[in-house]
Amino acid sequence: MKFFFRVFGALIYDLLSVLVLVYFASFLPVILLESSIEPGNIKLQLFIATIAMLYFFYCFRKGRTFGMQAWQLELQSENGSKVTDYQILIRIIGGIFSFLFFGLGYIYMLFDHKNRTLHDIASKTYLRQKSSN
C-alpha cells in the first residue's frame, strides 16, 4: 500500500509538470500565428497531446520522470536490460488507458503481488524504489 501512494504521488507530480509544460507550450502556436486560436481546434489539441507524449517519452528514456525522481522511483525492464522505445510507447499508451478507465490500471497495483500496473504488464516494465547511494 505504501508503494501505491508513492506511485500515486509521482503521478500527481507528473500531471502538474505536464500541465505547466502544456500551458507554456500552447503559447507557441499563438505567437507564431500572431492571432488567437478558436476553442476545439484539432491541430492545437494534437499539438498539446504531442507535447505531453514527448515529455513522458523523453523522461522514460532516462528511466524516470520528474515525479518519479521526486518520489525516488525508477523504471526498469522486466529482463534487466535498458527500457526500449517500443516499451516506452506501449507504457505511454497503456498508461493513458489505465488512467482514463477510472484509474483501474493503477488500482490493479494494489492486487498484484509485484506491485505492477496494467501498463507495466503490457510493456514488460516495472517501477522500483531507487536504492539510496
Residue whose C-alpha cell is 505511454: 92
Q: Taking each helix axis as running N to C, give the angle between helix 42-62 and helix 85-100, from 0 to 180 degrees, rounded to the nearest 10.
A: 120
Give residue-wise pLDDT tens across range 31-70.
Answer: 888 777 787 888 888 988 999 999 999 999 999 999 999 9
Q: Rounded to two decimals, what is the model's pTM? A: 0.83
| Segments making up each domain of the chain, as ranges | 2-129
Instruction: For residue 53, give the C-alpha cell.
Output: 507524449
Residues 83/61, Cβ–Cβ less than 8 Å = yes
Share of the chain above pLDDT 70, in %: 98
Grade residue 74 by pLDDT with cuts at 50, 70 and 90: very high
Residue whose C-alpha cell is 525508477: 74
> Per-residue b/e over 92-109, b at no fewer than 16 CB within 10 Å?
bebbbebbeeeeebbebb
